[in-house]
Amino acid sequence: MTLSNIWEIITKIIDIGVVWLVFYFILKNIKNNTKMVLIFKGVILVLIIKILSDLLNLYTVGLILQYCLEWGPLAIIVIFQPEIRSVLESIGRTQLLGRHKILTIDEREHVVYETMKAIEYFKRNRIGALIVIEREISLQEYIEPATKVYADLSADLLETIFFPNGPLHDGGVIIQGDRITAAGAVFKTSLNPAISKRLGTRHRAALGIAEESDAIALVVSEESGRLSIAIDGELNYNLTIDEFRLILLDALNPHPEVFYEAENNNDSAGEE
């Protein structure tokens, strides 16, 4: 095998790898965006109907769908420009190594302990709160206009920030790693029509940031003290303290390590 053949194989591997990487990030961000998921499903449905019309010789239906396929991409770009821009921005903000992944076990336990201590205090006293924990996708665009804090995470500081009628009470807190980066942050509210109309601005903002990014949004209802977590585009509503803690722990755990351990267990089972 000559050097030119080796180089050709390497370039093809790089080419395929880049394409799959792009598709991975696009699909990953589409999954967290409700409107983009609907667009994706619509395109798949049109393609299926087009294939069926060709098989059944439905000339008129096939002709109409042919025009849809030719001009559809342009119409989608024009009509859904804000959603497409949101996905592209999410891809641009994605970090190769999320901040939560560099935390040690002690640091993760500290984050959970201090956060849960504050959450229990808010629930007991019915104090509204919105705490957003950054993961792989950067929240810099929300940090910039917010009040910078840059302080070690502690329950006392969270309780002070969300003290009723305080200047930062109505906004959200952003946590990066094991530090509070900003307070008084304002997030885009979710436009998901399936959300209950009884839910207020905090819950809609939590779901909005969970749809737009991979952040973990923790919510305490000011009216009822109920606990909720928005993650991966879904809102887990009215959780118990134990359910809340378990979801938070699972979301903060570095899942690649879990897969690695699973592989090790499989290897061990094979050896036995």
CATH number of 99-256: 3.40.1700.10
Cα angle: 155, vertex 158, 159; to 5 degrees: 85
Residue closest to 26 by CA, chosen among 114, 94, 97, 128: 94
pLDDT at site 100 = 44
pLDDT at site 268 = 39
User: Which pTM does this prediction carry?
Assistant: 0.63
pLDDT at site 246 = 94
Q: Count CB atoms within 10 A of the CB of residue 252.
A: 19
The pLDDT confidence band at residue 22, using thresholds 50, 70 and 90, is: confident
Q: What percent of the chain has pLDDT over 90?
A: 39
* Residue pair 218/131 in contact by the 8 Å Cβ criterion: yes
pLDDT at site 180 = 95
pLDDT at site 265 = 47
CA 252 to chain centroid, in Å, comes to 13
For the cut 50, the answer to whether the pLDDT of residue 261 exceeds it is: no
Element (H, E) at 219: strand 216-220
pLDDT at site 264 = 46
pLDDT tens digits for range 53-75: 888 888 787 788 777 777 777 77
Residue closest to 121 by CA, chosen among 66, 73, 162: 162
The most confident of the ranges 3-12, 50-59, 230-239 is 230-239
pLDDT at site 269 = 37
Lowest mean pLDDT among 44-58, 131-145, 152-166: 44-58
Q: Count CB atoms within 10 A of the CB of residue 223.
A: 9
Lowest mean pLDDT among 31-35, 44-48, 66-70, 129-133: 31-35
Lowest mean pLDDT among 34-43, 115-124, 170-179: 34-43
Start and end residues for every CATH 3.40.1700.10 domain found in the chain: 99-256
pLDDT tens digits for range 169-217: 889 999 998 999 999 999 999 888 878 888 889 999 999 999 888 899 9
